[in-house]
Amino acid sequence: MHSSESQLPSGSLSELAVEPARLCARRQFLQRSALGLGSIALASLLGEESAFGAEKGRAENPLGGLPGLPHFAPKAKRVIMLFQSGAPSQVDLFDYKPEVKRREGEELPESVHMNQRLTTMTAGSPRVLLPSIAKFQQRGKSGAWISDFLPHIAGIADEICIVKAMYTEAINHAPAVTFMLTGSQMPGRPSAGAWLAYGLGTANRDLPTFCVLTSNGKDSSCGQLFYDYYWGSGFLPSKYQGVQFRSGGDPVLYLSNPGGVDREMRRGMLDDLGQLNRLKQQAVGDPEIEARVSQYEMAFRMQASVPELVDLSTEPAHILEMYGPDVHRSGSFARNCLLARRLAEKDVRFIQLMHSGWDHHQKLEERLIWQCEDVDQASAALVMDLKQRGLLDETLVIWGGEFGRTVFMQKRKNQSFGRDHHPRNFVIWMAGGGVKKGITFGETDDFSYNIVRDGVHIHDFQATLMHLMGIDHTRLTFKFQGRRFRLTDVHGEVVTPILA
């Protein structure tokens, strides 16, 4: 006859769920004790924002943000990042350099390049100067120099702030994109959108706080892979990661009910599952259990909110025309820009568009034109659409890539020319959300190779983004593996001259 300890215990659902906790190993017991009395006492004594303490404080905030945030009145309520993956050529689009045209075909002077680090694709090759393949004009009242390849963005020159002297340490795509979006070249850190979701919480309970939409340029040979950690939550609870919208099938994976399961049945299943998960959470204190419960509930609410969001049949014809013909193509950058505006109207906190196709090592004269045609009209339309709806002042729009391109030609035997990676300077532009409009900030040398005034490091850019959202970037931290981490690591200064 079996002992009572080996028999399945009888009783209520609560008893069945909690019973396994009585049979825990020594390690589990110590872990549970640490998560219980130890962490509570330490948080009480030291005022720590441990994972447990932060979650406890979060429950008191109806929006889910941390107590005390924002730290000051924000300039922006939300961010739309139009990320141009592959690195747009600043030489051909925004950084006008007539000196390069005068010296076309010459080698870049050694006094300029100073044998600085290059990729293996051009290291050891002649650095032959290649002027812009596009014509430049001064645009608007601001007089900003913008390429003819971007006529629609040129048309909003007086609405945007052009930052011409961005720089980074990364020289290859994946580390550079990771650095721009997470503050570290190594995967595993929370992305900017996850930090904002963690710190500020949500403003719409029926949609994710952080949404991601991806698209590819017309020439797939210039595309870059999109890794999930570009919008990941890193060591933050997983409920703060970006939710990716898809161009085909369900807009979000696993949104539809399985066959034979209706909405009422799913609601009942989630209620029972939530009860079991909460009991497990009480027993082991794992924050990922709470994250899983919240994600199940969000998915249930999204079943009603997302179909309406992605249905563009209610958009007037003149708005669709504003974004260009590609808006009718599912998965296009233009369509994603329009969806970004709709998400902004719904108070989604961080909207990240990832568009590939800017890696122009060859056939620059063809591929750059195609890429600009992909994004120019829709990017400008998004800014103007937000403005006409009274949303631009409270929405920070960011356009740019991970680094720049070389002013010298990259060309191999029997191949057409292109430009290599250049981390020492590149260009982004911003609009709305508390930045000055109609200004150009920063300056590079006559060869668009080195910064000569007002350089903006990646961490400076991130500190400024956080500041515009009402956050002191040095104070939003999370303790992990014995130290406190933040988006800007231990660096970063707010770029105050560009603030409105």
Q: Return the C-alpha torsion angle 10, 266, 302, 201, nearest 10.
A: -10
Closest CA to 399 of 359, 372, 419: 372
Pairwise pLDDT comparison (266 vs 169), residue with the higher score: 169
| The predicted structure's pLDDT at residue 427 | 98
Helical segments of 183-286, H only: 192-200, 263-284
Lowest model confidence (mean pLDDT) among 115-119, 143-147, 450-454: 115-119
Q: Which amino acid is at 409?
A: M
Closest CA to 190 of 473, 433, 496, 467: 473
Q: How far apart are CA 92 and CA 99, in angstroms?
A: 14
- Residue keyed to tokens 């593996």: 481
| The predicted structure's pLDDT at residue 191 | 98
Closest CA to 216 of 453, 420, 49, 374: 374
Pairwise pLDDT comparison (81 vs 46), residue with the higher score: 81
| The predicted structure's pLDDT at residue 249 | 66
| The predicted structure's pLDDT at residue 301 | 73
| The predicted structure's pLDDT at residue 475 | 98
| The predicted structure's pLDDT at residue 112 | 96
- Within a 10 A sphere around the Cβ of 196, how many other Cβ atoms? 26
Is residue 70 helix, strand or coil? coil
Q: How far apart are CA 30 and CA 415, in angstroms?
A: 64
| The predicted structure's pLDDT at residue 424 | 97
- For the chain, the helix, strand and coil percentages under 3-state DSSP, each to the nearest 5: 40, 15, 40
Pairwise pLDDT comparison (292 vs 326), residue with the higher score: 326
| The predicted structure's pLDDT at residue 106 | 97
Q: How confident is the model at residue 285 (pLDDT cuts 50, 70, 90)?
A: confident
Q: Which amino acid is at 331?
A: G
Q: How confident is the model at residue 300 (pLDDT cuts 50, 70, 90)?
A: low
Instruction: Classify each residue of 60-70 as buried b or exposed e, where b means 16 or more C-beta atoms within 10 Å of its C-beta.
Output: eeeebbbeebb
| The predicted structure's pLDDT at residue 33 | 47
Instruction: Report the DSSP pairing between strands 456-457 and 160-167.
Output: parallel
**Highest-scoring range by mean pLDDT, 21-25, 27-31, 245-249, 487-491:** 487-491
Q: How far apart are CA 170 and CA 89, in angstroms?
A: 16
What is the arithmetic mean of pLDDT over 12-31? 46
| The predicted structure's pLDDT at residue 386 | 98
What's the token pair of residue 203? 């403003």
Q: Which amino acid is at 375?
A: V
Q: How far apart are CA 18 and CA 20, in angstroms?
A: 6
What's the token pair of residue 126? 């002649």
Average pLDDT across the chain, whole number: 86
What is the arithmetic mean of pLDDT over 356-363? 95
Residue 172 sits at φ, ψ, to 5 deg, of -120, 155
Lowest model confidence (mean pLDDT) among 56-65, 362-371, 432-441: 56-65
Lowest model confidence (mean pLDDT) among 3-7, 64-68, 327-331, 388-392: 3-7
Q: pLDDT tens across 179-226, in order?
A: 999 999 999 999 999 999 999 999 888 899 999 999 998 877 777 889
Question: Residue 279 above 80 pLDDT?
Answer: yes
| The predicted structure's pLDDT at residue 43 | 37
Q: What's the full length of the chain, in residues?
A: 500
| The predicted structure's pLDDT at residue 20 | 45
Q: pLDDT tens across 136-167, in order?
A: 999 999 999 999 999 999 999 999 999 999 99
Q: Mention every residue, 6+ apart, whose C-beta is less than 8 A from residue 361.
A: 121, 410, 418, 419, 420
Helix (H) or strand (E) holding 433: none
Contact 212, 231 (CB under 8 A): yes
Of all residues in the chain, the percent with pLDDT exceeding 90 is 67
Q: How confident is the model at residue 254 (pLDDT cuts 50, 70, 90)?
A: low
Q: How far apart are CA 365 and CA 99, in angstroms?
A: 20
